[in-house]
Amino acid sequence: MDKKQAKERIEELRQQVEYHAKKYYDEDKPEISDFEYDMLMVELRNLEKEYPEFQSKDSLTQKVGGTVKEGFQKVTHEVPLQSLQDVFSIEEVKDYIMKIEQKAEENQIKQVMYVVETKIDGLSASLEYKKGEFVRGATRGNGMVGEDVTENLKTVKTIPMKLKDKIDITVRGEVFIAKNDFEKMNQEREENEEELFANSRNAAAGSLRQLDSKITEKRPLDIYIFNVQKIEGKQFNSHYEELEYLSQLGFNVNPIRIYCKNIEEIEKAIVKIGEERENLSFGIDGAVVKVDDLKFREILGTTAKTPRWAVAYKYPPEKKETKLKEIICQVGRTGVITPMAILEPVKVAGSTISKTTLHNEDFIKEKELKIGDMVVIQKAGDVIPEIVEVKKDKRTGKEIGFEMPKVCPVCGAQAVREEGEAAVRCTGIECPAKLFRNLVHFVSREAMNIDGLGENIIQQLLDHSLIKNIADIYTLQLEDIASLKKNGKKFAQNLMDSINKSKDNDLHRLITALGIRHVGTKASKLLARKYKSIDNLMKAELEDLSAINDIGPIVANSITEFFGQEQTKDLIEKLKSARVNTLAKEEENIDNRFEGKTFVLTGTLEEYTRGEASNLIEKFGGKTASTVSKKTDYVLAGEEAGSKLTKAQSLGVTILSEIEFKEMIR
């Protein structure tokens, strides 16, 4: 490679690592694996070393990645939170130790001791204490300036708010999410049709960097402390001694720390951690080798980015080859049909893998997967197994292509993939796989509003085979419900009253309860107002539906597909038999004073919930929107109104106080 080619490649690599660092550190949404990113950095570092004339202080090889997220206060770290120099082979570790030993000899230090610790896969943070009380916490940021996440860190149960010694101290730790908790989080997100977290590190980072600490509180964050950044009134000789003291203070200290005196012991420690890696409850991506003597650390010093007294050995991702025996489809609670790979069992990173998700139709096409292919399996973040490569050169010609099913494999209803979406969905309302979620939605407050029929009771009714479809709610007997609770007669009577009351609901609630894709409460009210009965709506033509304001072709198509299903027709007949109202009620004293007007609600109102205020606006013929634009007529602003109020002011939109709104609806 000549100088011109080297310069071009260095510039190309810098752009790539900057882009991927931004996705990783700032957006918590990586697009490539840690290993792929590391390899880009290694190539860049080697080229910069070979061609020093092209080195730059702005290169990510010379500085810590990460910026301060908008909305957080900045925190300047008194002691920089540096990153570690990564190495990828035992030979590189040996080279590093040899340099340390040479430096020790130059300074007449006879014996250098080391501590080998796990490199936890999480987000680095500093915790500051005054007189033993937690006062401030911050993310690493760019190493010099981080984000003030004090309130979020207060929600982490393993962070002590008060230490066992009234001391001024700043410590550094790694915030993470345990493997089991991460799997549960992703399972819940999949069921709720939310984007899955790429790995536990980004899940932890995204959770800690929430602007609302109530969201952070719901996430299973944990922390291990691994360093003293600054301390007043105490001195230590060794890092190991510091860690022992941190444990005594009440900190959750990195549990794996192995004392070593030479390269042979260091190598054994690295191998041992690698072998036990699979059994750890938390994810790691390496082992850190640290010089134990704190005075020697001062002699060794640091670069602008990394300390010279520590190095991180990164374990390579383990890959194994196996056969794709079959592709089956599973139906989730929301009706999403997910293809699953059935594999010849293979051991990867300590556990036997026999199946893995193939995500969606696009993933299969992108990889050009066929049943019978030899594939390469890797564990993403040491937790989730995934297919990373297809060995096309090993094909025999007997491999079979795969297509997503046109009907649901559980109930036989039509399976559809809408334009712009990756998921294929079951459209059957009586599909057993979707039943729990359909029931929860049917009885919810915005739908049939059956008070007392929560998720726990629904699950019990299903477990006891007391209901097998939505309409069975209306065939429940008092004694059936009472049997679910000790002394449950009063509860059963209240629930029966609520079920019977729901039979008299207006038509728009029933339409909402059916859970037609893209049809929410607003669209349900429009449809009920226009068609007056469920029978008329079921017979509505696609063209007529598309012509309704705020419905449009996508929603219209969803409605006609839904009512074209035999399962839907069956359910409606059952609901009619149970005497559930299917007609729109006549509205008395129709008042359309807000007709053609669009409102946006922001902030907290004193006398109304957002839902109540929206219902009043719609009652008078108006509609609500979630964003402010030039088409917005009014912004109803309560306490602590935010960016929507600012935008309304800049656009000259009329802003209403709650008092002014009450005058308008009087």
pLDDT at 179 over 90: no
The rounded distance, in Å, linking the Cα atoms of 247 and 254 is 9
Which is nearest to 585 in space by CA: 509, 646, 642, 481?
A: 509
Calculate Rg over the CA atoms of the chain.
Answer: 31
**Residue 522 CB contacts under 8 Å (≥ 6 apart), including other chains:** 550, 618, 623, 624
Which is nearest to 478 in space by CA: 495, 455, 461?
A: 495
What's 471's DSSP letter?
G
pLDDT in tens, 476-493: 999 989 988 877 889 999
pLDDT at 164 over 60: yes
Q: List the domain boundaries for the chain.
A: 3-54, 74-314, 319-394, 427-577, 598-665
Band of residue 76 on the pLDDT scale cut at 50, 70, 90: very high
Query: In which element (H, E) is residue 619 found?
Result: helix 610-619
Task: State the pLDDT at residue 383.
Answer: 59
**Residue 446 CB contacts under 8 Å (≥ 6 apart), including other chains:** 509, 512, 521, 611
Across the chain, what does the average pLDDT equal?
A: 89
Residues 390, 368: contact at Cβ < 8 Å? yes
Burial of 481 (0-12, 13-18, 19+ CB in 10 A): buried
The per-residue b/e assignment along 597-610, b for 16 or more CB within 10 angstroms, e otherwise, is bbbbbbbebeebee
Residues 12, 20: contact at Cβ < 8 Å? no
pLDDT in tens, 247-261: 999 999 999 999 999
Task: State the pLDDT at residue 21.
Answer: 78
pLDDT at 420 over 90: no
The rounded distance, in Å, linking the Cα atoms of 395 and 178 is 39
Question: How many distinct helices (H) and strands (E) make up the chain?
Answer: 24, 22
Give me the mean pLDDT over the 458-470 stretch.
92
Name the percent of the chain lying above pLDDT 90: 55
Task: State the pLDDT at residue 215.
Answer: 86
Residue 103 bears catalytic tag: no
**Residue 32 CB contacts under 8 Å (≥ 6 apart), including other chains:** 20
Name the most confidently modeled range: 14-23, 35-44, 428-437. Answer: 428-437
Superfamily of domain 427-577 in the CATH hierarchy: 5' to 3' exonuclease, C-terminal subdomain (1.10.150.20)
The rounded distance, in Å, linking the Cα atoms of 54 and 56 is 7
Name the most confidently modeled range: 332-336, 378-382, 533-537, 587-591. Answer: 533-537
Residues 601, 655: contact at Cβ < 8 Å? no
Give me the mean pLDDT over the 17-22 stretch.
81
Residue type, 122: G
**Residue 427 CB contacts under 8 Å (≥ 6 apart), including other chains:** 335, 408, 413, 414, 415, 416, 517, 561, 562, 565
Give me the mean pLDDT over the 41-51 stretch.
84
The rounded distance, in Å, linking the Cα atoms of 633 and 651 is 11
The helix/strand/coil state of 289 is strand
Q: What token pair was written down for 264?
A: 């042979």
The rounded distance, in Å, linking the Cα atoms of 179 and 310 is 27
70 vs 662, residue with greater confidence: 662
Q: Tokens 């559980």 appear where?
A: 410
CATH tag, 319-394: 2.40.50.140
| 130-to-72, 227, 520, 561 alpha-carbon distances in Å | 22, 17, 51, 64
Q: Tokens 């669009």 appear where?
A: 598
pLDDT at 382 over 80: no
What's 304's DSSP letter?
S
Q: Name which of 20-34, 113-127, 231-245 the model is least confident about.
A: 20-34
Q: Of these residues, 119, 379, 434, 644, which one is catalytic?
A: 119
pLDDT at 379 over 80: no
3-state secondary structure 485-506: CCCCHHHHHHHHHHHHHHCCCC
pTM: 0.58
Residues 158, 252: contact at Cβ < 8 Å? yes
pLDDT at 65 over 80: no
What is the full DSSP assignment across 517-555?
TT--HHHHHHHHHHH-BHHHHHH--HHHHHTSTTTHHHH
Q: Tokens 């602003």 appear where?
A: 637
Which is nearest to 438 in space by CA: 568, 574, 581, 532?
A: 568
Which is nearest to 38 in space by CA: 26, 21, 23, 54?
A: 21
pLDDT at 443 over 90: yes
CATH: 3.40.50.10190, 2.40.50.140, 3.30.70.960, 1.10.1510.10. Which one for 598-665?
3.40.50.10190
Give me the mean pLDDT over the 43-48 stretch.
85
Residue 469 forms beta bridges with which residues? none
pLDDT in tens, 180-190: 898 888 878 77
Pairing verdict, β 634-637 and 598-602: parallel
Characterise 646 by phi-psi region: left (phi > 0), alpha (psi -120 to 50), beta (else). alpha
Q: What are the respective helix, strand and coil percentages of the chain, to the nearest 5?
A: 40, 20, 40
Provide the CATH topology of domain 3-54: Helix Hairpins (1.10.287)
pLDDT at 627 over 70: yes
Does the domain at residues 74-314 carry the CATH identifier 3.30.470.30? yes
